[in-house]
Amino acid sequence: MSATTALLRTPLYEEHVALGARMVPFAGWEMPIQYPSGIVNEHRAVRAAAGMFDLSHMGEIYLRGPGAGAAADLLVSSDIAGLELGQARYGLLCNERGTIVDDVIVYRVERETYLVVVNAANVDKDREHMKRYLAAGVELEDASRDTALIALQGPRAAVIMASVTDLEIREATVEELAPFGVVSARVGGARAYVARTGYTGEDGFEVFLPWDRAVGPWSRLLAAGGALGLTPVGLGARDTLRLEARFSLYGNEIDETTDPIEAGLGWTCKLDKGFVGRDAVARAKEQGPSRRIAGLAVEGGVARHGYAVLDAGREVGTVTSGTFGPSVGRNIALAYVPVALARVGTRLAVRIRDREAPATVVKTPFFKRGERT
Amino acid sequence: MSSVPDDLRYSKEHEWVRAGTDSVTIGITAFAQDQLGDVVFVELPAQGSTIKQFSSFGVVESVKAASDVYAPVSGEVVERNVKVVESPELVNRSPYEDGWLVKVRVADKAELNKLLSPDEYRAHIGETAPSGG
């Protein structure tokens, strides 16, 4: 992103500034990295109570029409054809080489409407990729600039969400929404799709709203959650939360040089159907990966993206993401290492500045809901 | 605004120096820790090693990033703050007291004249727009 390009602002920009957020450039957007309480406190609030995120920078691409389900199923690696109305699924956009164009969640929001949520940095690329392989008669709408997205995450998310949400189905409440379920609703008076999805390893919701109606629901949720420990959360804690939960981040663990098998995302690839990149992914699976993502516990420093991983002094891999994990109380990292060195308990090292910091391969996710510290 | 105690000298890189009888104490300023965010790791030179004015002598890592700490004066490290290595959050909680980093026997007292007065440092952080990142 060139420095001369004006940064985009979400409809909640003024709210973040009023809350004292520190705003930083991210994927062409001016986004809150943290609020005054700081990344560690925000992280802990999500694990213990609830946190609210502005994710309006993310992309929303709609596929509509009688053939939309089949079209989405061809584009995305997972079983999209099997989605019922009101269900969502994680999956990958792959290219024909079988490497990863993006990771997405597909929501079947109406009978013939599928919402594909993509990473902010990839919106243009994904839209063009999808158009290239789109079946005739299926309408594609990039609604990224018209759609705000608020995530509410944490053990108290459901009770807070329910207090400001009216479902169109009168007899149900949003607390009864199944994981990866999605419904039409009114949130703080605004029309929305509410999904039980997230990126933190906690229970929670993602709320898709019209761009110009986002402020009301944001304020209503903050007010409703205030007494329950709800805090606004920036991109800093979003990263520590997702990393503890071992969720991949596009640009770190996955990109167009990585295949789903080595990335540990083979489970998202339904190889008994056709999808773009299917044959190459099937070959990669058959051959078996030469490297794999391992979780590392690192001592004596924080491993960062791009740092070298060493085995007996020899460079064998690269850190994809690393941080201090507030809920696990230690420094954690993900790294690509040779398959033979990916076994739990293997002792490696990470080059941090000019030192070798001891690193041990550990089980992932680093943090699982219910194992609170 | 960040506090800038009147009894300290400052570097442009946001370290502070407190003069003592045999040695000076060095740390990072309230402004610096605020910019860094939650400090999770501190790396300090060994006792007995020498540090050189305006050269990096240690690292303070926050959740977001690693930042070099630059020596405001040259000299021999006579003590390192073991507590801050064990509890890096002391840098955030008490940057001028419990969160100090090292004590140094100054080689050349004239070097202190190259540092900023409290007023100069206040102007410096007033001018330096918070970079945010």
Shortest distance between the Cα of B110 and any Cα of chain A, in A, equals 32
Q: What percent of chain A has pLDDT over 90?
A: 95
Evaluate if residue A307 carries a pLDDT over 70. yes
The tokens for A2 are: 């060139």
What's the whole-number mean pLDDT along residues A21-47? 97
Would the pLDDT of A370 be above 80?
no
Q: Is residue B56 part of a domain?
A: yes
pLDDT tens digits for A4-24? Answer: 579 999 999 999 999 999 999
Of chain B, the end-to-end C-alpha distance in Å amounts to 18
Q: Are strands A88-94 and B102-106 parallel, antiparallel or unpaired?
A: unpaired
C-alpha distance from residue A342 to each of A94, A270, A312, A347 (Å): 25, 25, 15, 10
Nearest CA in chain B to A237: B63
**Residue B57 placed within a domain:** yes
Taking residues A275-285, report their average pLDDT: 98
Digit-coded pLDDT (tens) for A308-335: 999 999 999 999 999 999 999 999 999 9
Domain membership of residue B95 (yes or no) is: yes
Q: Give the ipTM of the model, two decimals please.
A: 0.83
Please indicate whether, in this complex, the C-beta atoms of B38 and A40 are within 8 angstroms of each other: yes
Position B1 scores a pLDDT of 64
Tell me if B133 is assigned to some domain: no
- Per-residue confidence at B127, pLDDT binned at 50, 70, 90? low
Q: Quote the pTM value.
A: 0.93
Size of interface A-B (CB pairs under 8 A): 47
On whether residue B91 sits in a domain, the answer given is yes
CATH number at residue B85: 2.40.50.100
- If you average pLDDT over residues A94-119, what whole number do you get? 98
Cβ atoms of A44 and A327 within 8 Å: the answer is yes
Q: Give domain status of residue B132, yes or no.
A: no
Q: How many domains does chain B have?
A: 1
User: Higher model confidence: residue A372 or residue A266?
Assistant: A266
Which chain A residues are closer than 8 Å to B69 by Cβ?
none
β-strands B75-80, B102-106: how paired?
Answer: antiparallel
Structure-token pair, residue A129:
């990729």
Q: Could you tell me the residue range of the domain that residue B108 belongs to?
A: 9-123
For residue A48, pLDDT over 70 is answered with yes
Among B63, B67, B86, B93, most A C-beta atoms within 10 A, so best to mutate, is B63
Q: CA dihedral defined by A268, A269, A274, A277, rounded to 10 degrees?
A: 110
Reported as a single tens digit per residue, the pLDDT across A221-275 is 999 999 999 999 999 999 999 999 999 999 999 999 999 999 999 999 999 999 9
CA distance A46 to A229: 9
DSSP-assigned letters across all residues of A34-75: E-TT-HHHHHHHHHHSEEEEE-TTSEEEEEESTTHHHHHHHH
Minimal Cβ distance to A302: which of B37, B66, B133:
B66
Closest Cα in chain B to A40: B38
**Does any domain span residue B115?**
yes
Q: Please report whether residue B2 resides in a domain.
A: no
Domains assigned to chain A: 13-52+146-244 (3.30.1360.120), 59-142 (3.30.70.1400), 290-373 (2.40.30.110)
What pLDDT, in 10s, does the model give residues B65-105?
899 999 999 999 999 999 999 999 999 999 999 999 999 99
CB contact under 8 A, A39 and B37: yes
In the chain, the amino acid numbered A104 is V
A302 touches B: beta carbon within 8 Å: yes
Residue A304 has its nearest CB partner, among B66, B92, B133, at B66
Give B7-30 pLDDT, tens digit per residue: 999 999 999 999 998 899 999 999
On whether any CB of chain B is under 8 Å from the CB of A33, the answer is: yes
A304 touches chain B (CB under 8 A): yes
